[in-house]
Amino acid sequence: MAYVKATETVNETNFLASEKFVSFPRQVDSTSYAVTTDGRGHKVIPAGTVYPTNDASAEGVTIDEVDVTYGAQPVGVIVDGFIYGKKLPVEPAAAAITALKRITFVDEATASGSTQG
């Protein structure tokens, strides 16, 4: 008996500008604004998502993709470090950049048009 499975391509983008960062565990679920459905029908939150929302209440940036299809899951959230804002799935809003005081966006194409230090 043969088992046949469709080929799936995974694209991972390195959005970290430095190997040094600080992250803390947080919990995410399928009610997040950033949930997308992947090729297998799973609900996922992409790595590089501004957490918990892309606005003035932003706390950090998720470090890994997390599958929330079957309930809430833990995810690492970067709260201090250097990140390429242009490489995130959705560029951070100006209010989120202001709220993320300990994250430095090292490219000039963030929502505010300048880098944050």
**pLDDT band with cut points at 50, 70 and 90 for residue 108:** low
DSSP string, 27-81: EE-TTSTT-EE-TTS-EEE-TT-EES-SSTT--EEESS-EE-TTS-EEEEEEEEE
Give residue 85's pLDDT.
94
When pLDDT is averaged across residues 20-42 and rounded to a whole number, the result is 95
**Structure confidence by residue, pLDDT tens digits, 34-80:** 999 988 899 999 999 999 999 999 999 999 999 999 999 999 999 99
Residue 105 has pLDDT above 50, yes or no: yes
> For residues 56-86, b (16+ Cβ closer than 10 Å) or e, as one string?
eebbbbbbebbebeeeebebbbbbebbbbbe
CA distances to 12, 87, 98 from 94, in Å: 25, 16, 6
| Residue 9 confidence (pLDDT) | 75
| CA–CA separation, 60 and 43 (whole Å) | 21
Rounded-to-integer distance, Cα 77 and Cα 13, Å: 17
Stronger pLDDT, 60 or 117, i.e. the higher one:
60
Cβ 115 vs Cβ 85: under 8 Å? no
